[in-house]
Amino acid sequence: MNIKKITTILLAGIILTLTACYPENFNQTTFHPYGPVAERQLDIFWLILIGGIVVFLLVEGILIYSALKFRRKKDSPLPKQIHGNHKLEIVWTVIPGIVVLIFSILSINTLMYAADVPKDAEGNLGNHKSLHAIGHQWWFEFRYPHPNDDSQQVVLANEVYIPVGIPVRIELDTVDVIHSFWVPKLAGKVDMVPKPKDRNGVKDNNYMWFEASEPGIYFGQCAEFCGASHANMKFKIIAVTPSEYDAWLMTQIEPAAEWPDPLAKEGADVFKSAGCSGCHSLKPVAKIGSKGRLGPNLTHVASRTHLAAGMLNNTISLNTTTINDAYLQENLRDWITNPASIKPGNLMSAQATVYTDPDKALTESQISALIAYLTTLK
């Protein structure tokens, strides 16, 4: 065998081993990006990791070698007393200095790229979809521009659809504390920071952008500590083809179709009489900039793949968007019966009278009616 062959086999072996060891495609892994922003951020990570491994091997190698090689023996003479060497010290000042500067400059490229949607030839933001994400303790509200009415927004919660291959620019806001919006497979996080309004009533909100390169379900989670249920604040981004996206958006501007089921009708009355409607809107649209209600919008709650911001799954597996009604009803029952056990500290269990006042607690039949009604909100 010649050297070329050996090298080829060695290289193939190394690549195979690395592929085998490559982290699996878990739901929130940063190792499997599905969009240009996350991809570029991963590239920078690999670049620095390789540099880091070189430094690691060099330093740990010298350290271990010295500790073994220069061990003191009984007859070891006093070693040469060297107080320093300026030339050497200049070398290990200048070389690392140059390396970190190169890394910095390379990374600034990615930083600028990730900062905003790529510009078109005229210097304006290129083709993109805009949407609003608003952090609440502990769920996410999403608002889309209304496709037919410039003064309105479509209001959703915890789950949004985006078109594949089109940049999405998200304005990030919060109604209470700092949250952080993070979908690891699409882009690194940006915080949702409470900001004061300026004289014109406008807030200088943070924003971010990303683009999904493939249809799929992308998992997100709040990344900034935001109080008791910080761990229970998740969301999903569902990427579909642009035509599916347009069709989906048209369904979202209409209220759910009414079902002539008597139990559901009873549930609709409970929804009003028990005070649910005080915090949960059933209107799919709202005026731009209007302050939403306290709780998530429930207009199409039965079409969402999960309840309580990612805590309860309504689908058989995490990779499908097809709702299983039995799961949905069971989840609704769990949530309505004891929300504090699923999301400690949540506002509903702390403030809604059906939970705080034992006299007004929902009866079994009321709960069943409510579930029947909510299940119709497709």
Partner 1 sequence: MTLFPIQISIPSIPRPVKPTGLWSWLTTIDHKRIGILYGVTAFILFLSGGIEATLMRLQLSGPELDLVSAEVYNQLFTMHGTTMIFLAIMPMGAAFFNFIIPLQIGARDVAFPRLNAFSYWTFLAGAIMLKLSWIGGATNAGWFGYAPLTSVSQNPGTGIDFWIISLQILGVASLAAAFNFIVTIINMRAPGMHMMRLPVFIWMSFITAILLVLAFPVITVALIELTLDRYYDFNFFNVANGGSVVLWQHLFWVFGHPEVYILILPAMGIVSEVLPVFSRKPLFGYSTIVLAGAIIAFMGWMVWSHHMFTVGLGPAANAIFTITTMLIAVPTGIKVFNWLATIWGGSIKLNTPMLFSLGFIAMFLIGGISGVMHAVSASDAQQQDTYFIPAHIHYAVFGGAIMALMSGVHYWFQKTTGKMFGEILGKFHFWTLMLGQNLTFFPMHFVGLEGMPRRIYTYAEGMGWDLWNGVSTFGVFILIISFLAFMLNVIKSWKSGPIAPADPWDARTLEWSIPSPAPEYNFSEIPQVKALDDWWVTKQENPDIEVPDALENHSIHLPQPSYWPFVTALGILIAAYGVVFNDLLVPYLIAGIGTLVTFIGVYSWSLEPVNDPDEHTSH
Interactions with partner 1, residue window 223-242 (CB under 8 A): 223-232
Structure tokens at 55: 């430094």
Question: If you write DSSP's letter for every residue of 90-138 in order, what string do you get?
Answer: HHHHHHHHHHHHHHHHHHHHHHHHHHSPPB-TTSSB-S-EEEEEEEETT
Amino acid at 287: K
- Closer residue to partner 1 (CB): 7 or 104: 104
Among 131, 134, 168, 190, binds partner 1 (CB under 8 A): 190
- Closer residue to partner 1 (CB): 16 or 100: 100
What minimum distance in Å lies between the beta carbon of 313 and partner 1?
9
Among 13, 17, 26, 337, binds partner 1 (CB under 8 A): 26
Residue 175 and residue 157 in contact, taking contact as beta carbons nearer than 8 Å = no
8 binding partner 1? (CB under 8 A): no
55 binding partner 1? (CB under 8 A): yes
Residue 69 and residue 10 in contact, taking contact as beta carbons nearer than 8 Å = no
49 binding partner 1? (CB under 8 A): yes
Stretch that binds partner 1, among 86-94, 238-246, 290-298, 370-378 (CB under 8 A): 86-94
What minimum distance in Å lies between the beta carbon of 92 and partner 1?
4
Distance CA 54, CA 134 (A): 43
- Closer residue to partner 1 (CB): 81 or 124: 81
**CA-closest candidate to residue 339, choices 307, 366, 313:** 307
282 binding partner 1? (CB under 8 A): no
28 binding partner 1? (CB under 8 A): yes
306 binding partner 1? (CB under 8 A): no
Among 9, 11, 14, 100, binds partner 1 (CB under 8 A): 100
62 binding partner 1? (CB under 8 A): yes
Distance CA 216, CA 196 (A): 36
Among 125, 166, 177, 253, binds partner 1 (CB under 8 A): 177
> Given the DSSP bridges, would you call strands 152-157 and 139-145 parallel, antiparallel or unpaired?
antiparallel
For the chain, the first-to-last Cα distance in angstroms comes to 67
Stretch that binds partner 1, among 104-112, 119-127, 267-275, 351-359 (CB under 8 A): 104-112
- Coil, helix or strand at residue 169: strand
Contact set for partner 1, span 331-370 (CB under 8 A): 344-345
Structure tokens at 303: 């079409």
Residues shown for the chain: 378
